[in-house]
Structures are given as C-alpha cells and as structure tokens.
Amino acid sequence: MNIRITGSGSYIPTERITNLDFAKHDFLNEDGTKYPFSNDVVAEKFLEITGIQERRYATDDLLTSDIAFIAADRAIKDAKIDPETLDYIILAHNFGNVKKGAIQSDILPSLASRVKHSLKIKNPKCVAYDILFGCPGWIEGVIQAYAFIKAGMAKKCLVIGAETLSRVVDVHDRDSMIYSDGAGATIIESTNEAGGILAHESATFAYDEAYYLYFGNSYNKSHDENVRYIKMYGRKIYEFALSNVPKAMKSCLDKSGYDISNLKKVLIHQANEKMDDAIIQRFFKLYKEKTPENVMPMSIHKLGNSSVATIPTLYDLLSKNKIDNQLINKGDLIMFASVGAGMNINAFIYQY
C-alpha cells in the first residue's frame, strides 16, 4: 500500500492587488510615528526583498470556508472520487471566517464542517475538523492523513489549506503587503500505485520562538486597542528559518533513504523569495552540493503569501503545468517544506 495525492484543486481569488495599490497607504512605525520614506521607496524595497509584484484578495462576498469549498470540490473532481467515500476532511487555516470589515473571527461550526455541509456529504463517518498550525498547516494535515491511512483508520482524506489574510492585516504596517488570500486542496488516499509519501518531519519551537508571529495592535494609535492584527518579527523569523528549516529538510530527506541527487523539486512555503532562496541554498550546502537550476517553483511573485494555501496551490498549478518553465514527471522526487507561526517547521518527501 502506498499513500498518494490522487487529486488537487485550488481557488485563486479574482481581485488582483499590485504594489502600486499601496501608494495611498499611510505607513507608520511601530510606535505610531510616520515612516520616513515615501511609499514608492517602500514598494521598491519590498519587491527587492520579497519578490512579490502582486497578490490576490477574495471578493467581499466570499469567506475562507467558501473558497475552501471551491478548492475542495475541484480536488474531488480531479481525483474522480465519490465525496461520500471520504473518511476525513482536514482543513488548515489560522483565522477562521472573517467577514470583510468585521473584527471577529467565526469558527463555530468549524470550517471543515462547513465545507462538508457545502459538499453535501451525508456520511456521518466522514470526520471533519480544523487544524491550527501556522503556515505549515496544510503539510501537517497531509501528515495526519498519512498517519490515519497508515494506521488503517482511513482510506481517503481531503486536506485543505485556506485563508483570507487580507482581512486581518494592519493597513498601517508595511508587512501587510506580504499577505494574500487563497485556497488549495488535495485528496490523499491509499493506492497500489508506486511512490507517494516516503518520509516526513515536524517540529515546534516554542521556548523562545512562540511569539515571533502574533496578534497585535495597529501601528495607528488612534485605532481601537482591542482590535488585533497579524504581526511579526520579520528579522527573527528570517534568522530562525535559515538556521532551522534546512536542517529539518535534510532530516526528512535522509529518512527517505534517497540521495540529494534524486531530488527534482522543492515546494517550499511562499513567504519571501529572498528567504526561500537562502533556505534552499543552505539545504544543498548541507550536502556540499550546488543548488540545481529550476529546483524551486515559485508562485509568490503573482499570488503573494496566502499562508496555508501557498503550497497546495503551488502543487496544483505545477501538476497542471501552469507554472512557467517548471515541469514534474512521473517518478520525480519532490520535497514539500514549510515554516510558520508556532514556530512550526515540517516537510515530507513525495515520489510523484
């Protein structure tokens, strides 16, 4: 028995937000004072560091559970399965449903239950639950699905990553330019086909690192102090990721028994192009190898950082030949890896 991704789907929101759209934002320092550089300079530096040219926002009528349903429905159709045969629906997110302009998250009922309802699944033995694991949530959901199937508790699982980060950002914080909305979904099931998930790795660093990403006040001191927004210590996250993610990736690959020369692609969380590139470079240096060309497909330039949705969306686009100059072939060895709030790191090795 092998455990494979048998179908994928994604939802890329229709509202395209370019860096120029931030020109009228009143960016402030953390203490509320005016940021000393013009928005043109901010946008130029931002592009240089992150590689993000534009990002996508969901339209006002759509919630996180809505776009999760769309991606899930597409994955089910891609896998050509009956949704009634699903044993688990695992939905990774971080902020639940947040209506445009609202100040409160809604996770009652769980987003996974809402997706099951929208899919019109009657089978009560299809268990639906949410997972909160920062940006690595979708990968952790895949690892859980793998464990359920391996233990004989399931045969088919639907794993979704969905987020509308545009609704929890502080418009006065330059970091707000990073975040975006989106959803990606995959069907994980046992098959007789060769390949699939070969090894995995997960870790939580919380002793010193737990609050590198957190919910905090707006930089605009006139805003309601009880309304919170996603905040991060960018430099600490960058240093943490460069120090720890390559080692976790190496541990995962070593568990698989495959040599670094067999690795064809690394699908890494689309957080920051400069950081992702540095992680990949350090990973290959651990094996005293030069980083191969085209080993790291990227979607961040046009889609931004949609947290848990970035990797399943990237996989869906890559598997359907929708990423320029990037192809995966039958039998290719792929690594999926992510880092995010918690601070959490995870990865798995997959033979396509």
Mean pLDDT of the chain: 95
pLDDT at 225 over 90: no
* Among candidate residues 164, 192, 220, the one where a domain is terminated: 192
Same domain, 154 and 211: no
Point out the least confidently predicted range of 22-31, 85-94, 237-246, 312-321: 22-31
Contacting residues for 155 by C-beta, under 8 A, at least 6 apart: 85, 87, 149, 189, 190
Query: Residue 3's beta-bridge partner residues?
Result: 190
Tell which residue, 222, 232, 227, 219, has the closest CA to residue 34: 219
pLDDT confidence of 26, banded at 50, 70, 90? confident
Number of folded domains in the chain?
Answer: 2
pLDDT at 190 over 90: yes
- What is the C-alpha to C-alpha distance for residues 205 and 134, in angstroms, rounded to an integer? 12
Same domain, 165 and 210: no
pLDDT at 23 over 90: no
Q: What is the 3-state secondary structure (H, E, C) of 186-237?
A: EEEEEECCCCEEEEEEEEECCCCCCCCEEEECCCCCCCCCCCCEEEECHHHH
pLDDT tens-digit series, residues 267-293: 999 988 999 999 999 999 999 999 999
pLDDT at 150 over 90: yes
Same domain, 186 and 206: no
pLDDT confidence of 25, banded at 50, 70, 90? confident
pLDDT tens-digit series, residues 53-69: 999 999 999 999 999 99
pLDDT confidence of 40, banded at 50, 70, 90? confident
The range of the structural domain enclosing residue 266 comes to 198-351
- What is the C-alpha to C-alpha distance for residues 6 and 216, in angstroms, rounded to an integer? 40
Query: Residue 191's beta-bridge partner residues?
Result: 2
pLDDT confidence of 2, banded at 50, 70, 90? very high
pLDDT at 38 over 90: no
pLDDT at 226 over 90: no
Same domain, 183 and 224: no
* Among candidate residues 192, 216, 233, the one where a domain is terminated: 192
pLDDT tens-digit series, residues 232-277: 999 999 999 999 999 999 999 999 999 999 999 999 999 889 999 9
pLDDT value for 59: 97
Give the DSSP letter of residue 346: E
Same domain, 172 and 301: no
Average of pLDDT values for 16-21? Answer: 90
Amino acid letter for position 168: V
pLDDT value for 88: 98
Instruction: Give pairs for 213-218: CB < 8 Å, separation 24+.
Output: 213/134, 213/237, 213/340, 213/341, 213/342, 213/343, 218/170, 218/172, 218/173
Same domain, 244 and 301: yes
Average of pLDDT values for 317-344? Answer: 95
pLDDT at 308 over 90: yes
Same domain, 102 and 246: no
pLDDT at 126 over 90: yes
pLDDT value for 105: 93
- What is the C-alpha to C-alpha distance for residues 281 and 239, in angstroms, rounded to an integer? 14
pLDDT value for 35: 86
pLDDT tens-digit series, residues 160-187: 999 999 999 999 988 999 999 999 999 9
Same domain, 45 and 155: yes
pLDDT tens-digit series, residues 55-104: 999 999 999 999 999 999 999 999 999 999 999 999 999 999 999 888 78
Same domain, 285 and 328: yes
How far, in Å, are 248, 253, 335 from residue 295 at the CA level?
A: 18, 15, 10
Assess contact for 345 and 248: CB atoms under 8 A: yes
pLDDT at 132 over 90: yes
pLDDT value for 222: 86
Assess contact for 286 and 244: CB atoms under 8 A: no
* Among candidate residues 138, 173, 192, the one where a domain is terminated: 192
Assess contact for 317 and 350: CB atoms under 8 A: no
